[in-house]
Amino acid sequence: MAKKQHPISDIEHPSYLDMDLLRFTTAGSVDDGKSTLIGRLLYDSKSIFEDQYEAVKATSKKRGDEYVNLALLTDGLRAEREQGITIDVAYRYFATPKRKFIIADTPGHIQYTRNMVTGASTANAALILIDARKGVVEQTKRHSYIASLLRIQHIIICINKMDLVEYKEDVFKNIKKEYEEFASQINITNAHFIPISALSGDNVVTASKNMKWFKGRTVLALLESLSLPEINNTDAARFPVQYVIRPIGNEHHDYRSYAGRIASGVFAKGDDVTILPSGITSKIKSIDFGGNKLQQAFAPMSVAFTLEDNIDASRGNMIVKSDNNSTVTHDIDLMICWLGDIKLMEHSRKFILKHTTNEVRCIIKEVRYKLNINTLQKIENEKVIGINDIACIAIRTTMPVVIDKYSNNRITGSVILIDESSNVTVGAGMIL
Amino acid sequence: MNQHHLSHLKELESESIFVLREVAAQFEKPVLLFSGGKDSIVCFHLARKAFAPAKVPFPLLHIDTGHNFEETIIYRDNLVTKYGAQLIVASVQDSIDTGRVTEEKGFNASRNVLQTVTLLDTIESYKFDALIGGARRDEEKARAKERFFSHRDEFGQWDPKNQRPELWNLFNGRRNIGEHFRVFPISNWTEMDVWQYILQEKIEIPSLYFTHQRECFIRDKVIYAHANVIPLKPNEKVETMQVRFRTIGDISCTGAVLSSAATIEEIVEEVAATRTTERGSRIDDKRSDAAMEDRKKQGYF
């Protein structure tokens, strides 16, 4: 049964102002029950309020649903409710006494794959649903590949609708085996597998009475125990300059600080730093935040640095610790998820490349290959990339950019491409 | 153990400050929508931290329905004086007087919907290109679909089925002339986070949020403040009640809750134990299942 206590009502808990934060995304094909699973997580963890539940109950009844349709909790748009599908990423929030969670619930429809990429880009964990009756399908592979490509730390495979296969262990084991065979080709080696029924709540928040053969954790227990990315002093420290703070007035006459959010690593007062791409060096004079001075700051804190020397640095520059520089280049190789309606072709048009706080124009030098997500084959003679395709491309920028590999740094290794004519975001790229 | 660890509140704060600085960097003429409610108060506090020791580099905009709680206006004016902020007030009454909108009639009349016209007219006359708002995704199901940087066409309309994908922390604020963005720095905060943050940062808030005695009446299970702008039906009785407000909006569409919470700590406890959403007492959301989506498409907050 569900926990009786409201999760955040444990107010005496001394650390309630100091919980940690896990962001996860959900993926699966249409009708795999993603929204139902999230509805179930929220409902069973007592994160659904009575008026929300009553509203959903009333709507379910009005539509003639046989049971209270928990998916209605997340399907917020009129069109979604009418069609019973999820169109856009919906963000949901819940907390247990241990942790606060942000869920990006993403649609399974193939034409909305771009939303899966969106949800995955900021996630620490991915919940991928598989219908126990259908096993691994094309969308499972696509979503797993995207999760792997976007370097999501934890992959949780929820084999759902176990109630429809009589909760049989064999079904679970076969799908697990099938998935592992595929996953080994895309560098997913440590996926977690949980047999669930989102509809009836088996192994979501409470252990299933119908699947005593399963000894692992429930979905919620696993989410509470997953490790968060560690920030170490030895990490390459990166600080994209976002904004220059220069107060106008007599009080702070010569004050000038470089504001930004630390992308990775740790910076301390007195550190030797290099400003890229210029290569000018200086020292951190102070780390300022909201009127206070800090001795050190680490990712992902938003702070402002003052430097010992009066130098020229501005938005789009990167401040790095001098012992570990980024690459400064015009030429970038990318794995790109294409999100736009327009086609991507060699030398066809210019795009705006947005990378950290920097914007430059670029051209597509070469489409090296397109990827067949089902077979993971590289198709080298296909030079036209369309929406939802994943491809390896080479680009050249008009101005030098300061980059890291995505495999080393999710912030300084990621880019988006924007179509100059429509201003629409058309590509999500990971630097190779 | 992880040596460097940010609490959830610090991480949310850092994310919001990043968004606010992006607005200052990417837009020519941003403005912060300020209602005097706790969410816009938190946004202003975050903006002060984001640009310290400089002043907040954009003005505040209050869409004044004329149906305010007096306490909100007192709070607003004190805050503007204390921090030297620039305040623009756009009045729904002016929109009514100039014939831009027509006042709703009947017992449940509200100026909530009318605000949209006043807001869009103000955006056009000041040529604002980014409106920062305190909306949160946990508030309401249509808001759960919002981006941090939410594009609006030249008519101020939202197209929820065709939103720009928002990846990593790369916010695309590129726009054509006449278009603008709504930006929601505290998208990822919950009501609980907001209260915990107010507690942690010791932020001053309007007295309406704390328990007080007030003349109220009950209509459709909602506790309303007795005020001139809401005419009583014959069977409705005014009584003195011990209440506070969970959200602050227009007086005609904001319900009170019975509460004895007199401090922020007590409010945090009450929020933790409560079983209804804060917008449960917002009459404006109850007009239909998709009331918020429909209003947002037209250009509402």
pLDDT attached to residue A179: 96
- B:119-158 residues touching chain A, CB 8 A cutoff: 137-138, 140-145
pLDDT > 70: percent of chain B: 92
pLDDT > 90: percent of chain B: 55
Rounded to a whole number of angstroms, the distance from the CA of A227 to the nearest CA of chain B is 10
Of the pLDDT bands very low, low, confident and very high (cuts 50, 70, 90), residue B288 is low
Is B80 in CB contact (< 8 Å) with chain A?
no
Helix residue spans in chain B (DSSP H): 8-26, 38-51, 70-83, 92-97, 115-126, 191-201, 264-273, 291-298
Mutate to test the interface with A, among B49, B152, B169 (most CBs of A within 10 A): B169
pLDDT attached to residue A280: 95
pTM, full prediction: 0.91
- CA angle, residues A65, A66, A70, in degrees to nearest 5: 65
CB contact under 8 A, B165 and A352: no
**What mean pLDDT is predicted for residues B155-159?**
86
Rounded to a whole number of angstroms, the distance from the CA of A176 to the nearest CA of chain B is 30
Q: To which H or E segment does residue A117 belong?
A: helix A113-121
Cis link prior to A107 (omega < 30° from 0)?
A: no
Q: Which of A154, A158, A153, A149 is nearest to A185 (CA)?
A: A149
pLDDT attached to residue B281: 58
Contacts of B276 in chain A (CB under 8 A): 49-51
Specify which residues A294 forms β-bridges with. Answer: A287
Quick: pLDDT tens for B203-212. Answer: 999 999 999 9
Q: Measured between alpha carbons, how far is A172 from A180 in angstroms, rounded to an integer?
A: 12
**What mean pLDDT is predicted for residues A270-296?**
96
CATH annotation of A7-225: 3.40.50.300
User: Hey, which CATH number is domain A327-431, 3.30.420.40, 1.10.287.110, 3.40.50.1110, 2.40.30.10?
Assistant: 2.40.30.10
pLDDT attached to residue B95: 82
Is residue A202 classed as helix, strand or coil in its secondary structure? strand
Given a cut of 80, is residue A235 above it in pLDDT?
yes
Of the pLDDT bands very low, low, confident and very high (cuts 50, 70, 90), residue B275 is low
Is B277 in CB contact (< 8 Å) with chain A?
yes
pLDDT > 90: percent of chain A: 60
Nearest residue in A to B268, CA atom: A11
pLDDT attached to residue A12: 42
**What mean pLDDT is predicted for residues A272-295?**
96
Quick: pLDDT tens for A331-378. Answer: 999 999 999 989 988 888 899 999 999 999 999 999 999 998 778 899
Mutate to test the interface with A, among B48, B141, B197, B269 (most CBs of A within 10 A): B141
Nearest residue in B to A10, CA atom: B272
CB contact under 8 A, A231 and B3: yes
pLDDT attached to residue A28: 78
pLDDT attached to residue B59: 97
Q: Measured between alpha carbons, how far is A87 from A72 in angstroms, rounded to an integer?
A: 13
- B:165-184 residues touching chain A, CB 8 A cutoff: 165-170, 172, 174-176
Quick: pLDDT tens for B34-70. Answer: 999 999 999 999 999 999 999 999 999 999 888 888 8
Domains, chain B, with CATH or none: 8-193+289-298 (3.40.50.620), 207-283 (no CATH)
pLDDT attached to residue A2: 38
Sequence spans of domains, chain A: 7-225, 238-321, 327-431
The chain-wide mean pLDDT, for chain B, equals: 88
Given a cut of 70, is residue A248 above it in pLDDT?
yes
Q: Measured between alpha carbons, how far is B183 from B137 in angstroms, rounded to an integer?
A: 12
**What mean pLDDT is predicted for residues A167-175?**
97
Given a cut of 50, is residue B1 above it in pLDDT?
no
Architecture per CATH, A238-321? Beta Barrel (2.40)
Same fold, A238-321 and A327-431: yes
Nearest residue in B to A314, CA atom: B25
A81 phi/psi in degrees, rounded to 5: -65, -40
Q: What is the ipTM of this complex?
A: 0.90
Given a cut of 60, is residue A396 above it in pLDDT?
yes
CB contact under 8 A, B192 and A95: yes
CB contact under 8 A, A51 and B280: yes
**What mean pLDDT is predicted for residues B95-124?**
82
Contacts of B51 in chain A (CB under 8 A): 245, 259
